[in-house]
Amino acid sequence: MSQYPQSQSYLDEEDNDYPSPGPRKSRITMWVILSLLGVMIIGTGSVALYIWNGLRPTASGDVKRIEVKNGMSPFMIAESLEDEGIIRSAFLFKYYLKLKDEGTHFQAGSYDMAPGMKLDAVIAKLNAGETVKAETIKFTIPEGFTVKQIADELNEKGIASQVETMKLVDADRKWEDVDAILQIPATKSELHRLEGYLFPETYEVKKGSTAEDVVHRMLSEMDRKLDSIPELDETLAARGITLHQLLTVASLVEREVVVDEERGLVAGVIYNRLKQDMPLQIDATVQYLLDKQKERLMEKDLDVDSPYNTYKTKGLPPGPIASPSLKSIQAALSPETTDYVYYVTKKDGSHTHLFAKTYKQHLRNIELSNETAKQ
């Protein structure tokens, strides 16, 4: 028999008062896991809903003008799109572009986009550069115009101020990506620095362009035309003249000649006179000094003291006297080889000339010209 039977019985009774902890703890753990799963499911669903909502098209609306400027990052473009209501979320659009490996080929310009466009359609439009064509203005600079006439024409058409244009053509400055003007001598003896360097052409510029924009466009066109002439530098070197001198001769040809077939002949006369150290005696250089063109120069006009007066000063004038055409530039570069040193305009309305090798022949041609005028 046990020595402590009652105490052993007491302990057994106490043990029977506490239930087993296993089932209750399992239920708690299950609820915790289910709660966490629920939170995760709700969170994932919320994120998915946020992404879905942020990437779906916006509500349809009126077309908006979106400006994409040079240097704008894809995220900056996305913010503009969100501001105008084209997309819902610039933040999500940025990551959508990364996912699609897009955004690096977006092109600058003005775009018309409407709310309600799909994201892929927006991306395709920016990649293709489907920009809105800017409103433009067309104007024509006739061949042989002086810079003053050009400035007056721009002013009359409401394109650029005459005063601003003249300030630009007289300014001693460099122009970005323009090479031809680098050949202008540093003597500053030209009446107008950019005379002869504004190419005569029909232009189309954006509405609202400044005088500087327009002048730069015409200077660039001269560069482009000169670049189109094969072996220009080699031919200039062979003739022993500079580009500035070439444009000067071309401008004289432009002002003296109407009929294309005579451009090379007149250019040849100019070079022949220079070679023989004869004054060029070209009326157009004197006309250049006048405020208004005259049908006939007077004796006092020919007596004006100026390096542009080729009746008193030998050699070429300091620079071009007008904007030469490409035909005149090519004629000055490759003149016709003759012995002519004189020419006179026919007075029969044909705008052609009579050419002579000697002064005696020249006098005879003057008589012939006057005779045709009487008929």
Angle at CA 256, nearest 5°, toward 255 and 261? Answer: 115
Question: Tokens standing for 265?
Answer: 């002949």
pTM of the model: 0.71
For 78-120, the pLDDT digits (tens) are 999 999 999 999 998 888 899 889 999 999 999 999 999 999 9
- C-alpha dihedral sign at 253, 255, 260, 261: negative
SS3 165: helix
Q: What is the pLDDT of residue 29?
A: 73
For 278-336, the pLDDT digits (tens) are 999 999 999 999 877 777 888 888 888 899 999 999 999 999 999 999 999 999 999 99
CA 83 – CA 66 distance, rounded (Å):
10
Residue 14 clears pLDDT 60, i.e. is over it: no
pLDDT band at 133 (very low <50, low <70, confident <90, very high): confident
User: Which residues are CB-contacts of 45 (< 8 A; sequence separation ≥ 6)?
Assistant: none
Residue 253 clears pLDDT 70, i.e. is over it: yes
The residue written with tokens 């150290």 in the block is 277
Query: Taking all residues of the chain, what is their mean pLDDT, rounded to a whole number?
Result: 88
Mean pLDDT of 57-71: 90
pLDDT band at 54 (very low <50, low <70, confident <90, very high): confident
Q: Which residues pair with 344 in a beta bridge?
A: 354
- Is it true that domain 64-128 has CATH number 3.30.1490.480? yes
Angle at CA 211, nearest 5°, toward 207 and 217? Answer: 80
User: Which residues are CB-contacts of 160 (< 8 A; sequence separation ≥ 6)?
Assistant: 151, 154, 209, 210, 211, 214, 215
For residue 129, which amino acid is it?
G
* 99 CB burial (10 A radius; 0-12, 13-18, 19+): exposed
All structural domains of the chain with their residue ranges: 64-128, 136-227, 241-374
Q: What is the pLDDT of residue 303?
A: 86
Q: Rounded to whole angstroms, what are the CA distances from 46 to 49, 54, 90?
A: 5, 12, 19
Neighbours of 39 (CB within 10 A): 10
Q: What is the pLDDT of residue 41?
A: 75
